C-alpha cells in the first residue's frame, strides 16, 4: 500500500502491550459483563448515537429499568420478545434488558411486511413486541396472524408514539413506561448457556430460519473480533449496519468488552461515512457486501486519505479493488468469512493478509472443503465449506423449532454452510459462490461471484447480479441484471466487449437486463432467488439473438 502513517504504528504498539480481561466461562453472560464494566468504568462512554453519548453506568442503569419493566409485563426467563426497531438506543436497551432477565431477543428485519413479518414473530413464539411507530401500518396489517402476542411496546422516534388501536386483545404501552421503572438490578440468575437471541437468516434462498445464539456464543463472537482486529480501549469503532443483523454487533460487543467506544449511525452512507469517522475520530469501521465498491465509485477527493481509520473489517471486498482502496483511503482491509451459525470462522491474518482470500481458520473452528458426499477435496479443488467448533458452546445449537433443518445443518456432525470455495497450499480459503447459486453451462462450472466482479468493475456500472436460468440445451444460461451509475449510458454489446478479455467465453452472459435497482434484504444482500426464479423476462437482451459470436 505504500508508506504507512503513524496511526498504524501506534495501534500495533498499543496491541502489543494491551491485555483484554478474560471472563470465566460461567461469567460469560451479557448482563453480567455490562454490570462489571459499569463498576470498573462508570463514566466511560461506550456508545455514541448522533450527539447522544451513553456511559457504561447509564447503559447499566437503563438496562435495569427496562428489565424491571419487562418483568412487570410478565416476561419470564425463556420468553421471546421481538424487536422491530431501527438503529437507536432503545434497541440495545431492550436487547440487554431481556437478556438480563433470561428472556430472548428476536430482532426483526424492519423492511418485512405481510406474511414474512408475521412468520418471524409467530415462528419465534414471541409474546411481546417492541416496535418503532414507523412500522405501525405493517404491524396493524398482520394483527390477526399473531395469536401468541400479549404486549406491544411502542418507541416514538418518528413524531411521537401511538398505541396500536386495532389489537384489542393485546396490551399496548410506550417504551418510556419501561424506562420509568426502578433501576435496581432485577436479581434474575442467568446461565451462560441460556438462549440470548434468535436471529433470522436473510432468506435470500427461501424462508428465513431462526439461528439460536447463546450468551456464551455472543461472548465468543465479541472476544474473537477483539483478537483478530486487535481492538483495544483506545479504539473508536464505527458501524451503520442494521442492528437486526449480527454483523453490526461485531462493533457493539467489542466496544463493551474492551472499554472502547462504538459510534452507531442509522444506516450506511457512502457520502457521510468518512465525515462521521473524522468527526468522532473512528479507528475502525465495518463493511459488508458492496460497500467497498460503493465507496470507490464516489468522486475522488484530496481528503480521502485524511481519515483516522486504521482498519475496515468485513467480507467480500473485490480483489481487483483491494490495493486501490487501501491506497486511496489510507487504511487496511481485514476480510472475514462466516455465517450467523459459525461467525468469524475464517479470518485473513493481520500479519499476512492476502487479497481475494477470506482467510484461514484461526478462531477455534476446524474448516474443511468437501464434495457432495462430504469427503474432503484436495487443495485447489472446489468444495463446500463445512465447519466444526473445536471447543464447547462455540457456534449455534441449531434453528429454533426447525429440527429437520437443524439436522441438515449439522449433517455428519459438521455445519454445512452451502458456500463453495477453494484452498491453497498455505491454508488460505478463496470464496467461489453459493452452492445453490453456482452455474453450470455446457459442462463448465461458473462462479456468479467472479462474473459479477468483472461486470461491476465497468466504470458505468453501479452493481450487478448474475444468476443461472434454464437453457434449452440443458443446464444453465448466464443472466446478468445490471444497475448503471446515475447518468451513465452503456449498451449490452459494450458490456459483452468489456467481458470478453476478462472472462472465459462460457461465463459471459447470454442475457442482460438493465434495472433501476436490485431486490435486496435490509442487510443489503441481493435476493438472487427472485432474479433466478423470474427466468428470462421481457426486458432481457439476448446475446445469441443479437448475433454476437464469442471468440474461444
| Spatial separation of the C-alpha atoms in residues 552 and 544, rounded to whole Å | 15
pLDDT of 316 strictly over 90:
no
Confidence (pLDDT) at 290: 75
Which 3 state secondary structure label does DSSP give 435?
coil
Of 192, 227, 262, the last residue of a domain is 192
**Beta strands at 461-470 and 476-484: parallel, antiparallel or unpaired:** antiparallel
In a domain, 384, yes or no: no
What pLDDT is stored for residue 237 in this prediction? 98
Task: Kindly state whether residue 364 falls inside one of the protein's structural domains.
Answer: no
Mean pLDDT over 438-453 rounds to 76
pLDDT of residue 137: 86
Whether the CB-CB separation of 129 and 106 falls below 8 Å is answered with no
Whether the predicted pLDDT of 159 surpasses 70: no
**Assigned domain for 125 exists:** yes
C-alpha cell at 67: 428489565
Domain final residue, candidates 192, 207, 232:
192
Mean pLDDT of the chain: 91
Last residue of a domain, which of 159, 192, 225? 192
Task: Read off the pLDDT band of 342 (50, 70, 90).
Answer: very high
More confident: 200 or 4: 200
Task: Give me the mean pLDDT over the 229-250 stretch.
Answer: 95
Residues shown for the chain:
552
pLDDT exceeding 90 applies to what percent of the chain? Answer: 74
Confidence (pLDDT) at 432: 84
- Is residue 144, in this structure, part of any structural domain at all? yes
Confidence of residue 161 (pLDDT cuts 50, 70, 90): very low
- Whether residue 162 has pLDDT greater than 70: no
pLDDT confidence of residue 265: 97
280 closest CA partner among 91, 93, 51, 88: 51
- Residue 114 vs residue 75, higher pLDDT: 75
Tens of pLDDT, residue by residue over 506-527, are: 889 999 999 999 998 655 678 8
Work out the number of other CB atoms within 10 angstroms of the CB of residue 537: 13
Q: Which domain holds residue 519?
A: 441-542
Residue 382 has pLDDT above 60, yes or no: yes
Q: What pLDDT does residue 1 have?
A: 39
CATH code of residue 138: 3.40.50.980
Residue 413 exposed, middle or buried by CB count within 10 Å (0-12, 13-18, 19+): exposed
- Comparison of pLDDT for 283 and 533, the residue scoring more: 283
Q: pLDDT tens for residues 349-368?
A: 999 999 999 999 977 999 99
Q: What is the pLDDT of residue 59?
A: 98
In a domain, 409, yes or no: no
Q: Is the pLDDT of residue 533 over 90?
A: no
pLDDT at position 238 is: 98
Whether 465 maps to a domain, the answer reads yes
Confidence category of residue 530, pLDDT binned at 50, 70, 90: confident
For residue 73, pLDDT over 70 is answered with yes
- What CA–CA distance (Å, rounded) separates 518 from 463? 8
- Pairwise pLDDT comparison (256 vs 290), residue with the higher score: 256
- CATH number of the domain within which 513 lies: 3.30.300.30
Number of domains into which the chain is organized: 2
Per 3-state DSSP, the chain is made up of helix, strand and coil in percentages (nearest 5) of 30, 25, 45
Dihedral of CA atoms 232, 229, 220, 343 in degrees, nearest 10, equals 160
Residue that wins the pLDDT comparison between 190 and 118: 190
Q: Which of 43-52, 104-113, 275-284, 307-316 is least confident?
A: 104-113
Strands 45-49 and 52-55: antiparallel
In a domain, 275, yes or no: no
Q: Pick the closest to residue 421 from 466, 361, 486 (CA basis).
A: 361
On whether residue 529 sits in a domain, the answer given is yes
Q: Where are the alpha helices (DSSP H) in 470-527?
A: 492-499
| Distance in angstroms (rounded) separating the CA atoms of residues 218 and 192 | 10
Q: What local confidence, expressed as pLDDT, does residue 294 receive? A: 84
Amino acid at each position: 500500500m505504500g508508506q504507512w502513517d503513524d496511526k498504524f504504528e501506534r495501534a500495533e504498539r498499543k496491541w502489543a502491550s494491551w491485555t483484554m480481561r478474560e471472563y470465566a466461562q460461567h461469567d460469560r453472560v451479557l448482563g453480567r459483563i455490562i454490570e462489571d464494566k459499569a463498576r470498573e468504568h462508570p463514566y466511560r462512554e461506550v456508545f455514541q448515537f448522533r450527539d447522544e453519548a451513553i456511559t457504561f453506568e447509564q447503559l447499566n442503569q437503563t438496562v435495569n429499568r427496562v428489565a424491571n419493566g419487562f418483568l412487570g409485563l410478565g416476561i419470564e426467563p425463556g420468553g421471546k420478545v421481538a424487536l422491530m426497531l431501527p438503529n437507536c438506543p432503545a434497541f440495545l436497551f431492550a436487547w440487554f434488558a431481556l437478556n438480563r432477565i433470561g428472556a430472548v431477543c428476536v430482532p426483526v428485519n424492519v423492511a418485512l411486511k405481510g406474511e414474512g413479518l408475521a412468520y418471524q414473530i409467530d415462528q419465534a413464539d414471541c409474546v411481546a413486541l417492541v416496535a418503532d411507530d414507523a412500522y405501525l401500518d405493517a404491524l396493524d396489517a398482520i394483527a390477526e396472524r399473531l395469536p401468541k402476542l400479549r404486549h406491544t411496546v411502542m418507541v416514538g422516534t418518528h413524531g411521537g408514539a401511538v398505541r396500536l388501536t386495532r389489537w384489542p386483545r393485546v396490551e399496548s404501552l410506550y417504551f418510556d413506561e419501561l424506562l420509568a421503572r426502578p433501576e435496581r438490578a432485577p436479581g434474575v440468575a442467568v446461565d451462560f448457556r441460556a438462549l440470548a437471541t434468535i436471529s433470522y437468516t436473510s432468506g435470500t434462498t427461501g424462508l428465513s430460519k431462526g439461528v439460536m445464539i447463546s450468551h456464551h456464543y455472543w461472548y465468543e463472537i465479541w472476544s474473537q473480533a477483539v483478537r483478530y482486529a486487535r481492538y483495544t480501549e483506545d479504539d473508536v469503532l464505527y458501524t451503520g449496519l442494521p442492528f437486526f443483523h449480527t454483523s453490526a454487533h461485531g462493533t457493539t460487543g467489542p466496544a463493551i468488552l474492551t472499554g472502547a467506544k462504538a459510534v452507531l449511525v442509522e444506516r450506511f452512507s457512502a457520502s457521510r461515512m468518512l465525515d462521521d469517522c473524522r468527526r468522532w475520530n473512528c479507528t475502525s469501521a465495518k463493511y459488508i457486501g458492496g460497500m467497498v465498491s460503493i465507496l470507490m465509485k464516489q468522486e475522488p477527493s484530496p481528503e480521502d486519505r485524511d481519515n483516522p481509520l486504521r482498519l475496515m473489517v468485513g467480507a467480500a471486498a473485490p480483489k481487483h479493488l483491494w490495493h486501490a482502496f487501501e491506497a486511496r483511503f489510507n487504511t487496511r482491509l481485514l476480510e472475514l468469512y462466516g455465517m450467523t451459525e459459525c461467525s468469524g470462522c475464517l479470518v485473513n491474518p493481520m500479519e499476512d493478509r492476502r487479497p481475494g482470500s477470506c482467510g484461514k481458520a484461526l478462531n477455534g473452528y476446524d474448516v474443511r472443503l468437501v464434495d457432495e458426499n462430504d469427503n474432503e477435496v484436495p487443495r485447489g479443488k472446489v468444495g463446500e465449506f463445512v465447519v466444526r467448533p473445536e471447543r464447547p458452546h462455540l457456534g449455534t445449537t441449531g434453528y429454533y423449532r426447525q429440527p429437520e433443518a437443524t439436522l441438515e445443518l449439522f449433517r455428519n456432525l459438521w455445519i454445512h454452510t452451502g458456500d463453495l470455495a477453494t484452498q491453497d497450499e498455505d491454508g488460505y480459503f478463496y470464496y467461489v459462490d453459493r452452492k445453490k447459486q453456482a452455474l453450470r453451462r455446457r459442462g463448465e462450472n461458473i462462479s456468479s461471484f467472479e462474473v459479477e466482479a468483472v461486470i461491476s468493475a465497468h466504470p458505468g456500472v453501479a452493481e450487478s447480479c448474475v444468476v443461472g436460468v434454464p437453457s434449452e440445451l440443458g443446464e444453465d444460461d448466464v443472466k446478468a441484471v445490471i444497475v448503471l451509475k446515475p447518468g451513465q449510458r452503456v449498451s449490452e454489446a459494450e458490456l459483452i466487449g468489456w467481458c470478453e478479455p476478462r472472462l472465459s467465453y462460457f461465463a459471459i452472459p447470454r442475457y442482460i437486463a438493465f434495472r433501476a435497482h436490485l431486490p435486496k434484504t435490509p442487510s443489503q444482500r441481493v435476493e438472487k432467488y427472485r432474479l433466478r426464479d423470474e427466468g428470462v423476462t421481457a426486458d432481457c437482451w439476448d446475446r445469441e439473438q443479437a448475433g454476437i459470436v464469442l471468440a474461444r
